[in-house]
Amino acid sequence: MEKDPFEEYIKNAEATKQEKGYAWQTAIGLQAVDGLKTSDYLKNTAIRNIEGEISFKDANDLIQSYYAKKPSTSDEERTEEADKVSARIAALISEKTFNFSVNEYLSIHRKLFTGIFKHAGQIRDYNITKKEWVLDGQTVLYGSATELKATLEYDIAEEKRFSYQNLSIDKIIHHYAVFVSNLWQNHVFGEGNTRTTAVFFIKYLRKHGFNVTNDIFAKNAWYFRNALVRANYTDIQNGIHETTEFLELFLRNLLLNEKNPLNNRMLHIKWKFNQEFAKPDIGDSKPDIGDSKPDIENNLNIKTERNIQAIREAFSDKKIFGRSDLMNVIGLKASRASELIKIMLNFNIIEPVSGFGKGKYKFKK
């Protein structure tokens, strides 16, 4: 795995370098939502900025100049987009200014994509569909072109009127998830919606006092987009309903430093929990289990499934673990860790082991 050039700055550097390191790490990570990768030149330029050698404006100017002199193929044009947009996102995230308004949202898109998209900062005037991997090739129903401006103005106005006073953090996070998913579902622009929404949302969260200075966006940008998709897709005939559960897990990690597993495969509409467990080799015969086998798929909620998957990824079937290990791996409290062990025992997922002290378990083969 390629080493993150900004990790050391974020972990060990002084505050100013940490903030810049986070901004660049997030900016580069967000390119993944459109399958883009940045160049080594961009990363080297970013490090010069973090070290204080050049300003954000200098960094943007250098990137512009670099590509102005460099003829590019179609593949390189995508790298050029990633480099230019990354530099602009880093600068915007680092700015200590923000106005929660429709104009700000449109302005962010214009600043990110001027010279890249002809429609930078403009509301689209045509309808769109997009085939989504997470929906097995289906599309979200995006906002109608004729209603986009009115819908965007309504969403922003409603959020301005909303009061977070006296709400629990769980309700706050749920509301954030609903707001950002509605904002994104509009898909106001022809391209660049997720990156624009992410920057706007980060700055909005900061306005509310959240530092948002961790690597959750940087390392889970694709999950963020897929979670937005799942928050806006319903297929009742096949038992699929729009849900903000995935977004809320993402936001809990972002805002509360929780360690909920964020695995993209679990967002796929055809993902089944029991697919993660190896099936026994039973030949042509089937064991007579009657009604004794619990229905894992139907009886575990999404968060529990995710927690179990995270534990399984951390402890192979040969590794021994106990309650304290679960607390460390996924940040559970003692009572919740004990409850999860009971669930796994009841579902025949794990078994107790002896010789390693009290309360030790391993996954069944």
pLDDT tens profile 186-200: 999 999 999 999 999
Q: How far apart (Å, rounded) are the C-alpha atoms in residues 147 and 153?
A: 10
Taking residues 63-88, report their average pLDDT: 87
Res. 156 pLDDT band, cuts 50 70 90: very high
Kindly state the percentage of the chain with pLDDT values over 90.
62
Dihedral sign computed on CA atoms, order 326, 358, 365, 339: negative
The answer on 124 and 40 residing in a single domain is: no
pLDDT given at position 302: 62
Asked if residue 25 has pLDDT above 60, the reply is: yes
Let me know if residue 262 belongs to a domain. no
Let me know if residue 265 belongs to a domain. no
> What is the number of alpha carbons within 13 Å of residue 193 lying toward its C-beta?
24
Let me know if residue 267 belongs to a domain. no
The answer on 212 and 121 residing in a single domain is: yes
Taking residues 162-178, report their average pLDDT: 97
Mean pLDDT taken over the chain: 86
The answer on 102 and 90 residing in a single domain is: no
Copy the structure tokens of residue 204: 């909005």
Let me know if residue 45 belongs to a domain. yes
The answer on 279 and 252 residing in a single domain is: no
Final residue in a domain of this structure, among 38, 61, 95? 95
pLDDT given at position 283: 38
Say which residues have a Cβ less than 8 Å from residue 353's Cβ, sequence separation at least 6: 320, 360, 361, 362
As for how many domains the chain has, the answer is 3
The answer on 290 and 170 residing in a single domain is: no
Final residue in a domain of this structure, among 95, 128, 153? 95
Domain around 170 = 97-257
**Stated pTM of the model:** 0.76
pLDDT given at position 273: 52
Final residue in a domain of this structure, among 257, 290, 323? 257
The answer on 211 and 119 residing in a single domain is: yes
The answer on 250 and 126 residing in a single domain is: yes
CA distances to 7, 60, 80 from 74, rounded to whole Å, are: 31, 22, 10
Let me know if residue 266 belongs to a domain. no
Q: How far apart (Å, rounded) are the C-alpha atoms in residues 128 and 145?
A: 9
The answer on 234 and 130 residing in a single domain is: yes
